Amino acid sequence: MTHKQKILYFIYLHRTGLTVTGLSITLLLYPLYENNPYTLGLTNLIAINAIVVLGLNLFIGYAGQISLGHAAFFGLGAYGSAIATVTFEISPWPAMFLVAVIVALVALLVGIPILRLSGHYLAMATLGLSFVVHAILLQWDEVTGGPSGFSGIPYLSFGSFQFDDEIRLHYLLWGFTLISLLLCLNLVRSGVGRGLSALSGDEVAAEALGVNTRNAKIKIFVLSAVLASVAGSLFAHCYSFVSPDSFDIFASTDMVIMVVIGGMGSIWGSLFGAALITLLPEWMDLFETYKDFVHGGILVVILLFLPQGLVTGLVDMVKIKLALRRQKDAAT
Amino acid sequence: MLQLEQVSKNFGGLPALSDVSFTVPKGKLTALIGPNGAGKSTLVNCVTGVLEPSSGKIYFQQQQLNNLPAHKISRLGISRTFQNLKIFPRLTVLDNILTGLTREGGDSMLLAMLRLPDLRHRERQLKLRALESLDRFGLADKANWPVGILAYGDKKRVELARATVGQPQLILLDEPVAGLNSEETAAVGQQLRLMRSSGHTMLLIEHDMELVMDIADQVVVLDSGRCIATGTPDEIRRNPLVLEAYLGRMDATA
């Protein structure tokens, strides 16, 4: 091998690690270049959404299931942290952990019966979950503050160091996002991850390969719920205020749209999807007003032409083109 | 190694298998033949846990398989291929083979997410084994292709490689040469012969008589859900019941 080939091979072999390192360095230096609080606020929101989307993409993209209810877990995480820290005066970090455990239990209890369903039926069941949680947040005034929301949530802090401005939050939130990203990347590159892709391809075949499909679905559902809950807690501590509107059915569908844009089973695509949908309303006023129409339109167009999702679909197309060309070269 | 005792399966009131008994001896290639609708695929599905037998017992190395879920049966060391190809078209060829090593990749989601050094090490070994198996089936140069674009014969070989890469104790092959041309059939036959000589135990379900008579050590004949004959290929060829039910009819049409 020549020197150049060696370097290229090294890059190819360590492509995942190198990309993660590159992204981390970029994010580390980003506040030096951009210190406008408004812009940082936006990228912080991307970070929060990305955590939810990463988990949801494991469930939808890798395991091949569908959930229209992840805003429920997001909301439970946010309100859980709010209630635990303000009403019960538990300090934020243990509260976040405690809430994640409780949400995991809720997801387990909900998941065991509803993951027997598939396709449209599973979509309806998770949609129902979203409605129930939203209704509880809206109606149970004494605990949740009802439609006017819940305010006065403390910032996260280490000792006297408070995560209270955008730059500090940038590091906190993207730190969490990068950790989630790494965990997800590791998961999909393992035997468990391959079991999940087998499961989304064909359940009978997956069983024949030794995958416990029922347990795998429940586990990945719980994992994605925990990620959504952690993101919810961060959301609450980041804005010190939560209201039921952030966790309604449209929030759930927005998350699914982010997954679809990122593409089924693409961890990197999840970041892209979260970024694009979070930024769209900022780029054009039109999107702000007719947000739901635009999102619905995007969803329909993508699913019509690239059922695997935007990023994955395009990447697949390129891969197939390249392989076909090589096949032709080999034949001639 | 695999022992069936009076296995029956009814769909509603309709018997698909009635009182089927035979054994698959270790290290041998047993072929299961029979006309369409004889219950061959139903039998494979009963053995692998996709279907639950209505009555009768199935033993694998003295362990009873009834009531075990499919993934547990697979983990005992029984792997299979499917009549109508169940490979994962979006994964690369290499990843498809790696799914055949799922049971060795570890079950713990937490450990998978942490990806500690010993898991990295194991992943590398699994990858090497997968590449080795691709090499055996002559697919090494296509390792990184999406499997969806392969020719049908190559896809069949991918499934065969996936079923064998985990070194299973018993391999169930559901029509591995269906839809292949004579050249590809010969290649698969050669592959099966190699596998048998390296000591694999196999149960082969096949319509291709030439292949079956050529490579089987033992042949079991099913007709309308009943086991009508068991024996060596030569005995089966001469068995009047078989000729009537199966080969005779084929001769008449051929």
Tell me: the pLDDT tens digits for A27-83? 999 988 888 888 898 999 999 999 999 999 999 988 889 999 999 999 999 999 999
Interatomic CA distance for residues B95 and B185, integer angstroms? 25
Whether residue B59 lies within 8 A of chain A, CB to CB, comes out as no
Please list, in sequence order, all residues whose beta carbon lies within 8 angstroms of the beta carbon of residue A308, skipping any fewer than 6 positions away.
A263, A264, A316, B90
Asked whether residue A119 carries a pLDDT value surpassing 60, the answer given is yes
User: H-helix or E-strand containing B160?
Assistant: helix B152-164
| Contact of A146 with A140, CB cutoff 8 Å | yes
Most confident of A124-128, A145-149, A266-270, B87-91: A124-128
Looking at residue A10, its pLDDT comes to 86
Mean pLDDT of A187-193: 89
Interatomic CA distance for residues B48 and B58, integer angstroms? 10
| Contact of B170 with B78, CB cutoff 8 Å | yes
Mean pLDDT of A305-322: 86
Interatomic CA distance for residues A123 and B235, integer angstroms? 57
Contacts of B75 in chain A (CB under 8 A): 210
Tell me whether residue A67 is exposed, middle or buried, using C-beta atoms within 10 angstroms of its C-beta: 0 to 12, 13 to 18, 19 or more: buried
Match 């080969």 to its residue by tokens.
B247
Name the residue facing A186 among B113, B126, B148 (closest C-beta): B113
Asked whether residue A309 carries a pLDDT value surpassing 70, the answer given is yes
Asked whether residue A294 carries a pLDDT value surpassing 90, the answer given is no
Considering only residues 208 to 267 of chain A, which have any Cβ-Cβ distance to chain B shorter than 8 Å? 208-213, 219-220, 223, 265
Looking at residue B247, its pLDDT comes to 54
The CA distances from residue B50 to A205, A243, A308, B30, B63, in Å, are 10, 48, 29, 21, 17
The whole model's pTM is what? 0.90
User: What phi, psi does A91 have (nearest 5°)?
Assistant: -70, 150
Task: Name residue A243's amino acid.
Answer: S
Classify B28 as helix, strand or coil. coil
Name the residue facing B86 among A187, A191, A204 (closest C-beta): A204
Question: Which of the residues B44, B71, B83, B119 would you substitute to probe the A interface, choosing the one with the greatest number of A C-beta atoms within 10 Å?
Answer: B71
Contacts of B126 in chain A (CB under 8 A): 191
Looking at residue B47, its pLDDT comes to 92
Name the residue facing A197 among B82, B88, B100 (closest C-beta): B88
Looking at residue B248, its pLDDT comes to 54
- For chain A, what is the total number of helices (H) and then of strands (E)? 16, 4
Residue B117 lies in a domain: no
- Residue-averaged pLDDT of chain A: 90
Q: Taking CA atoms, what residue in A is nearest to B48? A: A208
Cα–Cα nearest to A62, from B88, B100, B75, B78: B88
Give the count of domains, chain B. 1
Residue-number span of the structural domain to which B4 is assigned: 1-21+50-67
- Residue-averaged pLDDT of chain B: 87
Residue A123 CA, chain-centre distance (Å), reads: 17
Cα–Cα nearest to A114, from A102, A135, A101, A128: A128
Interatomic CA distance for residues B169 and B27, integer angstroms? 9
Interatomic CA distance for residues B151 and B113, integer angstroms? 35
Cα–Cα nearest to A309, from A60, A20, A67, A120: A60
| Contact of A55 with A228, CB cutoff 8 Å | yes
Interface contact B91-A223, CB threshold 8 A: no
Size of interface A-B (CB pairs under 8 A): 118
Residue B197's Cβ-side half-sphere holds a number of Cα atoms within 13 Å equal to 7
Looking at residue B254, its pLDDT comes to 41
| Contact of A131 with A241, CB cutoff 8 Å | no
Mean pLDDT of A166-189: 92
Residue B2 lies in a domain: yes
Interatomic CA distance for residues B202 and B197, integer angstroms? 11
User: What phi, psi does A16 have (nearest 5°)?
Assistant: -65, -50
